[in-house]
Amino acid sequence: MVLFPAKAQPPQKIIWANFDFPPLYILKGELQGQGYTDKLIDYLESALPTYQHQRVVFPNYLRMEREAANGVPICDAAAFYQPPELREDTPWLLSAPHTVFFMHSLVVAKHSKYAFAEQESLAELLQQPQLKLGIQAGRPLGQKLDQLLQAHHKNSAFRGKNGQPVNLIERSAEDFIGLYSMLQRGNIDYLIDYFPQMAFATKTLGLAHDSFRMLSLSETAGQYGLAAIRCQQAMQKVIADINRLLIRDRPKPFFQTLTKRWGVRNPYPELADDIYQNKVLKIMD
């Protein structure tokens, strides 16, 4: 009897989605590779050596969604966390959370020609055709804001020659800094963003630290979100392995330091620490 050795199975591949979205992903410049998600993926690649890892820069989230729907083994390390009972409508598998962050706010130029209040409603701002909102095409902003923008795309009475709402100025996902430059010049009137992105853009453009103001949105005021890792729906083992790592390592200094550096750089660091300790660390799936 001749024994044939079994063929070694190639390691399962994980394609880590990357985007030009500092300071989560920093793809160029002196801080290249130092973004929050860059360092998180470094950790995951090191802690999961039996997998074949590859990083791919996607032009936008819509392209990533299409590739995942076609079976490409993609993972996104900076996704919105949802508890298991709310996951029926997503084609992705989600990990336990790894970060707490405060939801999007309104960003305006310090010397805006429009007198914005300290808290505004996105629903009401969208009804004013003279106020232009700059957005990155395909960027998710959370369920509530996404629904408002989708409804505005569909139902707005204010449309240009291209059929699009006149008060929505879309740019590519790569034009993150360009949108802030447009805001500074007065070509658009407001953005929706996180505090870390506003701080990073201000520094990159070489502007004074108070060149932009962050105001509250009534739709998201006082709300926080949790970030998790999502993987294409056939990658059950990958998610299970990631969850084991997160549960083991989230209390360690690596995660605490990483989170404070980029993930929760906002006006509420003490509140973020409390949520991390009493919420994030207690969620296991």
Q: pLDDT digit string (tens) for 144-163? A: 999 999 999 898 888 888 88
Using CA atoms, how far apart are residues 211 and 222, in angstroms rounded to an integer?
23
pLDDT of residue 1 exceeding 80: no
Q: Which residue has the higher pLDDT, 263 or 42?
A: 42
pLDDT of res. 264: 44
Q: Is 183 helix (H, G, I), strand (E, B) or coil?
A: helix
pLDDT of res. 261: 62
**224-232 vs 92-102, strand pairing mode:** antiparallel
Backbone angles phi, psi at 85, to 5 degrees: -70, -10
Q: What is the pTM of this model?
A: 0.78
Convert the pLDDT of each residue in 46-75 to its tens digit. Answer: 999 999 999 999 988 889 999 999 999 999
135's tokens: 């957005």
Mean pLDDT of 156-179: 86
Which band of pLDDT confidence, cut at 50, 70 and 90, is reported for residue 182?
Answer: very high
Question: What's the order of all strands across the beta sheet hosting 212-217?
Answer: 119-120, 212-217, 105-109, 190-193, 133-136, 168-171
